[in-house]
Structure 1
Amino acid sequence: MKTIKTAPYIPTDINIEESNKNRIKVSVYPFESGYAITLAHPIRRLLLSSSVGYAPIGLKIEGVTHEFDSVRGISEDVSPFIINLKNIRFVYKAFAESEEQVVVNYSFKGPMGLTGADLANDVLDVVNKEAYLATINEDAVLNFSIIVQKGMGYVPSEEIRKVVPEDFIPLDAYFTPVKKAIYEIENVLVEDNPSYEKIVFDIETDGQIEPYKAFQEAIAVMHAQMSIFGADITAVPAIAKGSADDAAELKDLMVKIDTLNLSARCFNCLDRTGIRYIGELVLMGENDLKNIKNMGKKSYDEIAEKLQELGYPVGSELPSELVLSLNKKIIKMKN
């Protein structure tokens, strides 16, 4: 005779498997049937959207007036210099962690190859010290200042322009330190019942934050968001139509594809086709992607891998309401 329950089973086990210092697998179990997906999806969304990171949001180069300028004695023009700078992942030194923003001035004399390691100082450290920034020729001097900001998610340069001084070039800011957050749900046996579930999270960060700390912070954000329901529910206003989770997901899907750090060949293939946003790729099926002009197998595999890391494998099905909102948003942004 099947036992009649009066309360759901409470998970009792959590295991952490470390692949390397920036990647872990977290297994949590056992959950009642259907409970795992209920918790796993919002945790993934919070990992990707609410983890705090650091990014350069403003750049000022001596003698430069705009982002399409060139710099005397530097091999790179300003535009590729900016792209290289946005790929450098900063982190504040311990005593500066309470600061939301820091402004740092640099001066370098050639000949030298400038890398991320050269940008580390008493206030900032750099995670990817080997990242290339520029080549300074002999007898050339490069003086520049950057503004590094603490933040969440992605903020386009159009919004950044409102918060940086006029003499700084505003930069698209991709703060999120979580590179990958995906999950799988497996069945586990509990007292001869095989219908219980296990969540296996696969979390990878860029080194700005330890992956388990990012996981803990996502859980803390979820608890804080849920705390409203501990208040007097008679005082809570009527819930508006629409899903806040869908709204957050829409915002993430409207991030530009240049944040994916695609190879130049792959990016140019999409750019020539007029594809600007991650959501456009998510809406496309396998055949649609492969039929893009000049889309080779290597470029397709690169895109498929990036979408998989974001939790949207090629061919993923989105809720119909989200698809409708996404299509409307894309049309509006392109017109």
Structure 2
Amino acid sequence: MNTIKVEPYIPTDINIEEVSTNRIKISAYPFESGYAITFAHPIRRLLFSSSVGYAPIALKIQGVTHEFDSIRGIVEDVSHFISNLKNIRFLIKDKDLDRASLHYEFKGPMVLSANELNNEMVSVVNPDAYLATINENAVLNFSLVVRKGIGYVPSESIRGTIEEDYIPLDAYFTPVKKAVYEIENMLVEDNPAYEKVIFDIETDGQIEPLAVFKEAISIMHKQMSIFGVDLSASVGSNKNIAEDSGELKTLMIKIDSLNLSARCFNCLDRSGLKYVGELVIMTENELKNIKNMGKKSYDEIAEKLEELGYPVGGEVADDILQLLNRKLAKLKNN
């Protein structure tokens, strides 16, 4: 029997299932038709873009002057060492500290793993990660700066915040490895059009998945609090808030700062693609059909976009999309 409503149905149930270490599923229901995705999509975006984590942002190696140098007595050159270092997930033990300056010295022969980097200031949540192989009679002496932050920050933005003799690193702060959702229909009072949303969230161990979910919800509440002010007092104001949004800044990150492989970067560069936003607005087929785009390069790009919170074929808010298109058009016309 159809009824006329005066307000939408309020969800009443939430279930949390621990799937494995650092992975949970959260189910919430029932939502009115169309409401589940209205809430699920921005929550997923916040999980990737605004979750607090830790990452190395600067490196100094004794006897090394730049990132394309080699290290005497070490199997890996500097670029490979940096690549391995970015895979190590740190945790600053003192929660009141946003930054930790670390100094290490190792003598060969040895296989250096992330476990060796644990000390009184930081712990490593993936201790088995490989870092380098040090040959006999060789010494590896390096300093590292680990920072607390959110999202992704390219090395060019970090350069001005560190000492000149340090190599700036691209910083992937987000502790979220996976955040996806499914929406299922469910029956409520003989109406099968209600919905259940199921989040599947996995972190790297820096923070528990339930804590990171609560953090995303808290951020959403804080962001929406702007609408709790007296809106009538703002009538006539023409300030473009979206213009200054962090999301637009992320979309305008240059592709050459994503640390892509040479083959992958050259493929995009030859096609005239220079900004992350240009990749985000492409469909899966458009991306795959870029000239000389192989499966390995596509998978690499898809992984980078996922880390930034923009899965291939995902949606971008209309106001942000309009601003992005205007900026891209202006840059191409200059």
- Cα drift, residue 240 of structure 1: 4.4
Amino acid across the alignment from 1:91? L
Q: Which residue identity lines up with residue 198 of structure 1 in the other structure?
A: K
Aligned residue number for residue 282 of structure 1: 280
- The amino acid of 1:9's aligned partner reads Y
Give 2:47's aligned amino acid.
Answer: L
Residue 46 in 1 paired to residue 40 in 2?
no
Secondary structure at the residue paired with 1:179? Answer: strand
SS at match of 1:161: helix
| Equivalence for 2:5 | 5
- What is the aligned counterpart of 1:217 among 215, 218, 221? 215
Distance in 2 separating the partners of 1:239 and 1:23 = 44
2:15 aligns with 15
Alignment of 1:116-155 (within 5 A): 116-155=114-153
Deviations 1:95-117 (A, max 9, x none): x1110101111010011111111
1:312-335 CA-partner distances (Å, limit 9, x unpaired): 5544464666445445656749x9
Call closer, same or farther: CA 1:181–1:256 in 2, change over 3 Å.
farther
- The answer to whether the 8 Å contact 2:48/2:309 transfers is no
Tell me, in whole angstroms, the C-alpha distance in 2 between the residues paired with 1:30 and 1:77.
55
- Alignment partner for residue 170 of structure 1, among 168, 171, 183? 168
Q: 2:186 aligns with which of 181, 185, 188?
A: 188
Task: Report the Cα offset of residue 135 of structure 1.
Answer: 1.4
CA contact (8 A) 1:270 1:276 kept: no
Contact 1:182 1:310 in 2 (8 A): no
**What is the rounded CA distance, in whole Å, between the counterparts of 1:217 and 1:296 in structure 2?**
38
- 8 Å contact kept, 2:154–2:257: no
Partner in structure 1 of residue 264 of structure 2 = 270
Q: How does 1:292-307 map to 2 (within 5 A)?
A: 292-297=290-295, 299-300=297-298, 303-304=301-302
Give the distance between the partners of 2:34 and 2:96, measured in 1 at CA.
Answer: 40
2-structure distance, mates of 1:260, 1:19? 32
Does 2:103 align with 1:105?
Answer: yes
- Matched with 1:92 is 92
Q: Secondary structure at the match of 1:228?
A: helix
CA shift for structure 1 position 217: 0.5
Q: Give the aligned residue type for 1:149.
A: R
What is the alpha-carbon root mean square deviation over aligned residues?
3.1
Q: In 1, distance between residues paired with 2:252 and 2:172?
A: 13
- Contact residue 117 and residue 123 of structure 2 kept, 8 A: yes
Q: CA offsets per residue over residues 273-311 of structure 1, 9 Å max, x none?
A: 115654343333344333345444455456556656766
Q: Which runs of 5+ in 1 are unaligned?
A: none
Counterpart of 2:156 (choices 155, 158, 166) is 158
Deviation at residue 124 of structure 1 after TM alignment: 0.7
Secondary structure at the aligned position of 1:108 is classed as strand
Deviations 1:105-159 (A, max 9, x none): 1010011111111111121111221222111111111111111000111112222
TM-score relative to the length of structure 1: 0.85
Distance, in Å, in 2 between the alignment partners of 1:51 and 1:63 is 36
Moved more, 134-143 or 157-166: 157-166
- Please give the per-residue CA displacement for 1:197-232, whole angstroms capped at 9, x wherever unaligned: 211112222221111111000011112222333333
Alignment-mate amino acid for residue 107 of structure 1:
E
- The one-letter amino acid paired with 1:127 is V
Q: Provide TM-score, normalisation by structure 2.
A: 0.85
In structure 2, the residue matched to 1:202 is: 200
- Residue deviations 1:66-94, cap 9 Å, x none? 2222222112222221121122111122x
**SS class of match (2:217):** helix
Pairing 1:239-278 to 2, within 5 Å after superposition: 240=238, 244=242, 247-255=245-253, 267-273=261-267, 274=269, 277-278=275-276
Deviates more, 1:65-74 or 1:268-277: 268-277
SS of the aligned residue for 2:248 comes to helix
**3-state DSSP class of the match of 1:135?**
strand
* Farther off after superposition, 44-53 or 68-77: 68-77
> What does residue 35 of structure 2 align with?
35
Check conservation: 1:154, 1:255, Cα contact below 8 A: no
What is the aligned partner in structure 2 of residue 82 from structure 1? 82
Q: Distance in 2 between matches of 1:85 and 1:150?
A: 16
CA contact (8 A) 1:22 1:204 kept: yes
State the alpha-carbon separation in 2 of the partners of residues 204 and 261 from structure 1.
Answer: 24
Q: 2: distance between equivalents of 1:151 and 1:330?
A: 28
Matched pairs, number: 328
Q: Aligned to 1:37, what secondary structure does the other structure show?
A: helix
Which residue identity lines up with residue 176 of structure 1 in the other structure? T
